[in-house]
Chains A and B, each alone.
Chain A
Amino acid sequence: MKFALLLTAAFGLLTTPLFAADEDYVPGPDAMVKEGVPQGKVTQHQWKSTIFPGTERDYWVYVPAQYDGSKPACVLVCFDGGGFVKADGAFRVPTVLDNLIHAGDIPVTVGIFINPGVIPAAKEGQEARKNRSFEYDTLSDQNARFLIEEILPEVGKSVKLSANPDCRVTCGNSSGGIAAFTVAWERPDAFRKVISHIGSFTNIRGGHVYPALIRKTEPKPLRVFLQEGENDLDNLHGNWPLANLQMEAALKFAKYDHQLIMGTGKHSGRHGGAIFPETLRWIWRDWKTLQP
C-alpha cells in the first residue's frame, strides 16, 4: 500500500482517493480568518480546583465581538481546551466561532477551553500527577460539578452566561469526548448539547457501559453529536469504532436527538476539526428558537 502511494506521488498522479487518510482531513474555509469578520477576544487564565483537590490547570475564555452584555451568551465548553483554542490547530474554535456567529449560523457563544488538571510535583525532578484520566474517564458527576460550581461562576463574573441548558454545549476528543457526554448525562439541568470526537466510550474507567445505560434509563433531553473513524484505536480498553457504533445504536433505540459521523480517520482530532463548523451548525440548527 505504501509503495503504491509512493508511486502515485512519484508520477504526480493526482487521483481522487477512494478514502480519506487521516492527514486528508484539514480545516476548511470556516476555520480561516476572514476579512470583514469581527474577531472575538481570547484570554488565558489559571485555576486551582477544590472539587479536584490539589489540581492546577490553564483555561482560556473566548468572548465574541458580538457580545455586548445586553443578554446572556450561549456556552461552549471544550475539554483539553489548549488544543481547541490554538489558532493553527485542527479546530481553531475561536475563528470558527467568529465566522459562524457573524454569519448568523450559531448564537453569540462564549467559548471556555479547559485543560485537564495536574497535581504539580512537590520537588524538582519529580513528575506531576496527571489527573486527566480521572477527570475525564470516570463515570461520576464530579467533572460536571467542577464546571457548574467552579468554572462557570468564575467566567460568569466577567461575562453573562446563559443558564438555559439547551444553550450550553460540552465538547471534547477521546477521553474528553466521553467527558463531554458524562457532564450532560449527569447534569442535563445544566448541559444538554454534546459534541464527542473519537470518544472513548470504552473500558478505560468503565465508560463502555453507556450504551447499556442509555437503553435502560429514562431518556434525557440531550442532543448528541458523535464523530468517529474506522481506523481509530483497538486496544486494551476497547474498540473505538465499535464503541461509537454501540453509542449510536443505543441513542437511536432510546430516541435521542443524535448523529454519528463515521469517517476513515485514526485517533486524532483531524476529522472532527475538518467538519467542526458543520457540527456546530447541526448542534445549533434551531438556535433562533432558544432563549439564552
Chain B
Amino acid sequence: MTLTKPSLPMHHTLLSLSVASGLAASLALPLAAQDMPLSQILVEDAGWELVVEGYEFTDGLTTDAEGNLYFSDVKGGNAVFKVDLEGKVSEFIPNAAGISGLKWGADGRLYACVSKEQRVVVFDKDKAVTELAKEVRPNDLVVTHDGNLYFTMTPTSEIRRIDPAGKMTIVSAGVVGKPNGIALSRDQGTLAVSDHGGKFVWAFRIEADGSLAHPGNYMTLVTPAETPEVGKGDGMTTDVHGRYYVTSAEGLQIFDPTGRLCGVLPAPDPTLPVVSTCFAGPGHAWLHVGNGGKIWRRKTQTSGALAFAGPQASEVVPK
C-alpha cells in the first residue's frame, strides 16, 4: 500500500481547531536545541589578524576583566607577556619560564601551570609567586569563581583539584587518556576536558564538594584522515552562549552547549598547530589563538565567558 497526503475534511479541521489552544503546547516536542552555525560567530570580512610573532611557542592565552591578553612562550620565553587594549606588548611577569597554562582567579591573582618546573603557582598583585603544588605534571588549568583550581596532568591521565584551602586531590584518573585543555561551562557546573591522545572532549559534573562525577564523551573532534582516532585536543575556552572552543590538529573546533559541532576554523598558519585559545580585547569579543610562535585574533559576534566574574546562565543567541 502507499500512504498519501492526508485529506483534510472540514469536520476534521474544526475538530482540531477546538483543541487549537493546546496545539502549540502539544507540539512542543524537544525537536532541536538552538542551532549555532559559524555565521552566528564570525564577522563578515573580518579574518585573522596577527597580534604578535617571533616567539618560539605561544601558550597559556588568557584574559582579565579589562580584556588585556596574557600569554607565555612555553618553549623559549622567560616571562608572562601582556598585550594591552592598544596592542602594546610588555613583559608582565619576568623570570617566569615554561608556563603552559594561565588563568586569573576571582581573587585578582594569576594562577599558572609551570610545566617546566613541574609545579602549580600563583602570582599575587605585586607579582610575588607562591607555590600551590610541586612534583606535578601540570598542563592547563581553570579556576572557578569559588576558588577551586582544576588542572590537567597529561602524561598521567589525571585531573587534579586544589581547593581554596590549598589541599590537592586527584578528581579523575584514567578517564581521559591525555587530558590537556580544560574549560568551565558558563554556569560552572560542567568541566570540559580535551583529550590530546583521543578524539573526544569529555564533560564532567562538578559536584557540590568540588569532586567530579559522570564523565561523558560529550563532544567528538573532527580528526585528521591519517589519525582518525587522535584529534590532539588542546587548549579550550567558552563563550557567553555556552559554546566550547577547542584547539586541535584540525584547527579550532567549536561545539554548542549540547555537544554538537558548530564548525571548524582552520589554523591561521596551517603549517603550525593551534594549541591555546581565549577571548580578549574590547568587550572580550576577539577570539585569539596561539599558533606556533604567533598569536592571531579575529573579531566575533560573541564574547568570552569569564570564570572569575562568577557563574552565569548561558545567553540565547539573538535572532
Contact = CB atoms under 8 A, between A and B. Distances in A.
B185 to A, nearest CB: 8
Nearest to A131: B216
A267 B33 CA distance: 12
Contacts of B1: 281-282, 285
B260 A237 contact: yes
B130 interface: no
B220 A205 contact: yes
Interface stretch (B9-17, B78-86, B103-111, B161-169): B9-17
A55 B213 CA distance: 11
B37 A236 contact: yes
Interface string B29-45: 11111011110000000
A198 interface: yes
Interface residues of B, number: 52
A133 B6 contact: no
Nearest to A19: B5
Contact of B8 (A26, A123, A233, A269): A26
A236 B38 contact: yes
Given A126-B187, A126-B188, A237 B35 contact: yes
A89 B27 contact: yes
A235 B123 CA distance: 46
Interface stretch (B152-160, B203-211, B283-291): B203-211
Interface stretch (A66-74, A216-224, A247-255, A272-280): A272-280
A252 to B, nearest CB: 14
B35 A236 contact: yes
A126 B12 CA distance: 44
A27 B3 contact: no
A54 B6 contact: no
B90 interface: no
Contacts of B218: 129, 134
B313 A53 contact: no
Contact of B260 (A83, A127, A133, A275): A133
Interface string B247-275: 00000000001111111000000000000
Contacts of B88: none
Interface string A83-102: 10010111000000000000
Given A29-B12, A122-B189, A275 B29 contact: no
A20 B216 contact: no
Nearest to A123: B208
B314 interface: yes
Contacts of B36: 236
B260 A137 contact: yes
Main secondary structure of the interface of A (DSSP, over half): loop
A189 interface: no
A121 B187 CA distance: 10
Contact of A270 (B3, B27, B213, B311): B27
Interface string A164-179: 0000000001110000
A121 B27 contact: no
Contacts of A236: 35-38, 262-263
B311 A54 contact: no
B190 interface: yes
A175 to B, nearest CB: 8
B95 interface: no
Contacts of B263: 236
Nearest to A227: B3
A133 B188 contact: no
Nearest to A24: B8
Nearest to B313: A127
B27 A133 contact: no
Contacts of A83: 26-30
B22 interface: yes
Q: Which of B29, B257, B260, B314 has the most CB of A within 10 A?
A: B29
B231 to A, nearest CB: 14
A121 B313 CA distance: 12
B216 A134 contact: yes
Contacts of B314: 127
B29 A27 contact: no
B310 to A, nearest CB: 11
A125 interface: yes
A125 B206 CA distance: 13
Contacts of A204: 260
Contacts of A233: 32, 35
B52 to A, nearest CB: 32
A127 B258 contact: no
Contacts of A268: 27, 29, 31
Interface in A108-135: 116, 119, 121-123, 125-127, 129-134
A90 B31 CA distance: 13
Can you list the 10 inter-chain pairs with the closest CB atoms, starting with the nearest?
A54-B214, A126-B189, A26-B16, A83-B29, A236-B37, A89-B26, A88-B22, A126-B187, A133-B258, A174-B31
Given A26-B16, A88-B26, A275-B6, 10 more contacts: A24-B13, A83-B29, A119-B216, A122-B206, A122-B208, A133-B260, A173-B31, A205-B260, A236-B37, A236-B263
24 contacts: A24-B13, A29-B12, A32-B15, A54-B216, A83-B27, A83-B29, A89-B29, A90-B26, A119-B214, A125-B311, A126-B311, A129-B189, A132-B258, A134-B218, A137-B260, A174-B32, A235-B35, A236-B35, A236-B36, A263-B5, A269-B27, A275-B3, A282-B1, A285-B1
Interface of A: 20, 24-29, 32, 52-55, 80, 83, 86, 88-90, 116, 119, 121-123, 125-127, 129-134, 137-138, 173-175, 198, 204-206, 233, 235-237, 259, 261, 263-264, 267-271, 274-275, 278-279, 281-282, 285
